[in-house]
Structure 1
Amino acid sequence: MIRTHYSTQITPEMDGSSVTICGWAHEIRDLGGITFLIVRDREGLAQVTLFKKTIDKNVLDIVRGLSRESVVAVTGQVKKEAKAPNGYELVPMSVTVLGKAESPLPMDTTGKVDADLDTRLDVRFMDMRRPGTKAIFRIRHLVLKSVREFLDREGFIEIITPKIVATATEGGTALFPMTYFEREAFLNQSPQLFKQLMMSGGFDRVFEIGPIFRAEEHDTRKHLNEAISIDTEASFLDHEDVMVILENLIVYVYSNVAERGTEYLKTLGMELKIPDLPFKRITYDEAVDIVRDSGEQIEWGDDLTTESEHTIGKTIGEHYFIVDWPTKIKPFYALPYENKPEICRAFDLMHPRMELSSGAQRVHSYELLRSRIEEQGLYADGFDFYLKAFRYGMPPHSGWGLGLERLIMTMLGIENIREVVLFPRDRRRLSP
């Protein structure tokens, strides 16, 4: 039963060698004198060929009695065969059933018969066996690996911050409350406050890849109530510096996926176009002008609607930044310009389809930060653990948060964000 090879590790040059593969019975074709068993493992497919005249009858009976998607271990001899997957077939010496699958299956795993997204998510364990679904999550792995490689190269230190907190990270976003012994607590909506504390701690550059929770009653193709955020914070850099880091990260991720994920992109039937550097930058004022020119009504100081984002995205046609936002619609920690305090040093990174990231240079003055918290109608004393760090030497610093799922869905041209999450959590789905 001990696996010696994945299907793709076996080559035609191994002709005559004995190997053991483990996987699922993807397909069984009994043609009378010859029976084919296609075994699927994590890496691909292997053809097991049984000739009735020469094969052990017990082995043949086991294969003929198999139900699709049963788990098997096959030990056999490699035989060069140009028509088989990967250019070889296995002539089995033994086939062991490790886990029998019931019939009928809850959904088709070959990709030949489609199923709606809700059905797929209800039996996600089965959906994961489909080649397209598996390809998405192999690419997700490559994206995360690339992010860590890039940020490590740029001198960032990975941290993990609490997900159970006593205070909201920012105003205006609903929180999930929870009972924490005799007190009320919340699921954290961002690592923002904690990563800023790391700047006071002298770590200079930090990043975190972790879950965030937003109790917003959205029911759209781009929103989740639990998502993964890629967050950075860096001392002695301004908002423009961290924008450069962000755009370089995006291009690095695209390039790595294009280079290392060729087989997964091929499975999805797509060719990845790597964005050009630098990304375009437009001001909030210019964004408003584009929206107004399209006929949509928008007042200066309003946040951009989904329709507005689509209008601007069609006009720009590639990744771009919106910079210099009205201070009143950005979080309290975004630093206003000294000579024009109604505008702050905040930015959003946009894909033509949607927002991917938001960031800013942060307020690092204790007095200004406390007043900004109060201006937004928040109770400053409730942020004492956070404000305290700004009284004892806080360097200038900037950072951003990037949505992992949105990055992947826009990269791969996927319409629904739930496609790129193993077990999505939204206002309607809490299981599996």
Structure 2
Amino acid sequence: MDDRTYTADAEPGDHVTVAGWVHEIRDLGGIAFIIIRDTTGKIQVKFEKDEMDDDLVDTGLSVHRESVVAVTGEVDEEERAPTGVEIVPESIDVVAEADPELPLDPSGKVDAELPTRLDNRTLDLRKDEVKAIFEIRAEALRAVREKFRELGSTEINTPKIVATGTEGGTELFPITYFGQEAFMNQSPQLFKQLMVGSGLERVFEIGPIFRAEEHNTPRHLNEATSIDFESAFYDHTEAMDACEAVVKAAYEGVAENCQEQLEALDLQDEFEPPEGDFPRISYEDAIERINATGELDEPLVFGDDLSTEAEHALGQDVGEHYFITDWPSEIKPFYIKDHDDDEEISTGFDMMHPSMELVSGGQREHRYDRLVEGFEQQGLDPEAFEYYTKMFKYGMPPHAGWGLGGERLIMTMLGLGNIREAVLFPRDRQRLSP
């Protein structure tokens, strides 16, 4: 519609055609109103029944909520209208009629359970507060990309269909690929490492990853968005610096450019980008701090992974974003480099929000012989990964990087109760459609 005016741009005295959805209908007897909603907001259309053509009034008031309409008329100032203006219609065209029985109420006056919302995601996103989540998500990813470029990184896209799994076969989705077995990729990890050995040196990727997670919790998905970074000639401390900068940039972008969306979510007064350096706590100190809280039934010992309860206890104690560093080598992946002065301790790190893990990273093992040993120690066949390992024979620089869960970033940023609220069409153990 070349002559369409967005509702937010309609000014008193303008002659406009607005197009959108019928948000609400109010029939007060001699006068009636319909509220039209488009991507920029809402506008009131006034029908004075005794002064208008009967067919025009009938068309306007017989249309069902959520129908798509185009209304042409004069814009008048009206202080009592929701946006201070209203349209006096000359014509109304019903572009697409909606069924009167809606599976959920896009006005938000009647709540719907999350499964119903996800089953009807198109309708669900017509609600301001739901749409706001994805506008914020888009801004966060824009700010992240900008920060990566400031850091001198090149954006890459790596395969999502692979012959072998990044971290073994326990969480792999197998597929049939022209008669042979293949898998959906768990991570771009191996490919981004290969890229830092190329002329690119410093790379990032924002893309899907696939994990056959057995967990069916409010913070697990089977298809997720991973924000990945890898740099040649970086150690684990420099990788943490980059991680901190990227997370802060996401928050700062949202704070600067999404005030309207934060208001829709009633977060405008409490949303604050993190300030200062994120604390860096060694794994050993983390164990001690967790045990000191007294929150766990059984105290942790060195070598234990951190349960959800342990993460929560430490997060409450720290109270801000933080890193856990110097993890035991045996519980980190084969590609994580150990400290030169202590092979029992790795350079691996996790970056945490007080409520959950957001990032896993570390310096990578760039020496061919040590890398192959790591495969064997974790029960993996080095020959199955020859496309990866052989490149380490040809001059692989020291390098480090990390992967950040995109949905977890948005979930924790906005205080969402379920990670599925940060995904347009979630994939979990029960949901394969829509």
Please state how far the C-alpha of 1:3 moved relative to its aligned partner: 4.9
CA contact (8 A) 1:204 1:234 kept: yes
**1:126 aligned to 123, 141, 147, which one?**
123
Which residue is 2:420 aligned to?
A: 418
Residue 375 (structure 1) aligned with residue 372 (structure 2):
no
**1:16 aligned partner, one-letter code:** G
Please state how far the C-alpha of 1:85 moved relative to its aligned partner: 3.0
Which residue is 1:269 aligned to?
A: 266
Which residue is 1:401 aligned to?
A: 403
Structure 2 distance, partners of 1:406, 1:266, is 21
**1:52 aligned partner, one-letter code:** K
Please state how far the C-alpha of 1:54 moved relative to its aligned partner: 2.6
Structure 1 distance, partners of 2:243, 2:8, is 36
Which residue is 2:305 aligned to?
A: 303
Structure 1 distance, partners of 2:3, 2:228, is 39
Structure 2 distance, partners of 1:3, 1:66, is 23
Moved more, 265-274 or 166-175: 166-175
Residue 145 (structure 1) aligned with residue 145 (structure 2):
no
Residue 220 (structure 1) aligned with residue 217 (structure 2):
yes
Deviations 1:130-175 (A, max 9, x none): 1111111111111111111111121111110000000110137410
CA contact (8 A) 1:230 1:403 kept: yes
Structure 2 distance, partners of 1:231, 1:319, is 18
Deviations 1:175-233 (A, max 9, x none): 00000012100000000000011011120111100000000111111000000000011
Deviations 1:96-139 (A, max 9, x none): 11111111211111111111111111111111111111111111
CA contact (8 A) 1:171 1:331 kept: no
Which residue is 2:61 aligned to?
A: 64
Q: Give the superposed CA RMSD.
A: 1.2
Deviations 1:307-361 (A, max 9, x none): 0000100100010000000011111111101110010111100000000011001
Structure 1 distance, partners of 2:204, 2:419, is 23
CA contact (8 A) 1:361 1:399 kept: yes
**1:282 aligned partner, one-letter code:** I
CA contact (8 A) 1:36 1:49 kept: yes
Q: Which runs of 4+ in 1 moved over 4 A?
A: none
Structure 2 distance, partners of 1:263, 1:86, is 15
**2:405 aligned partner, one-letter code:** G
Structure 2 distance, partners of 1:311, 1:354, is 10
What stretches of structure 2 of length at least 5 have no aligned partner? none
Structure 2 distance, partners of 1:290, 1:390, is 39
Report matched runs for 1:149-228 at 5 Å: 149-171=146-168, 173-228=170-225
Structure 1 distance, partners of 2:267, 2:189, is 36
Structure 1 distance, partners of 2:334, 2:324, is 18
Which residue is 2:319 aligned to?
A: 317
CA contact (8 A) 1:3 1:22 kept: no
Which residue is 2:285 aligned to?
A: 286
**1:104 aligned partner, one-letter code:** E
Q: What percent identity do the matched residue pairs reach?
A: 55
Structure 2 distance, partners of 1:3, 1:204, is 49
SS of the aligned residue for 1:231 comes to: strand
Deviations 1:263-322 (A, max 9, x none): 110010113121112101100001111122234322211110000000100100010000
Residue 78 (structure 1) aligned with residue 75 (structure 2):
yes
Which residue is 1:55 aligned to?
A: 52
Structure 2 distance, partners of 1:173, 1:190, is 14
**1:145 aligned partner, one-letter code:** R
SS of the aligned residue for 1:358 comes to: strand
Please state how far the C-alpha of 1:4 moved relative to its aligned partner: 2.3
**1:389 aligned to 382, 388, 391, which one?**
391
Moved more, 170-179 or 187-196: 170-179
Which residue is 1:36 aligned to?
A: 33
Length-normalised TM-score, structure 2 = 0.97
Structure 2 distance, partners of 1:173, 1:416, is 25
Which residue is 2:247 aligned to?
A: 250
**1:23 aligned partner, one-letter code:** G
Moved more, 195-204 or 81-90: 81-90
SS of the aligned residue for 2:348 comes to: strand
Moved more, 170-179 or 395-404: 170-179
**1:328 aligned to 304, 318, 330, which one?**
330
Please state how far the C-alpha of 1:53 moved relative to its aligned partner: 2.8
Structure 2 distance, partners of 1:56, 1:248, is 61
CA contact (8 A) 1:5 1:21 kept: yes
Structure 2 distance, partners of 1:106, 1:277, is 46
How many residues are treated as equivalent by the alignment? 429
> Residues 172 and 322 from structure 1, CA distance in 2 versus in 1: closer, same or farther, beyond 3 angstroms?
farther
What stretches of structure 1 of length at least 5 have no aligned partner? none
Structure 2 distance, partners of 1:238, 1:22, is 54
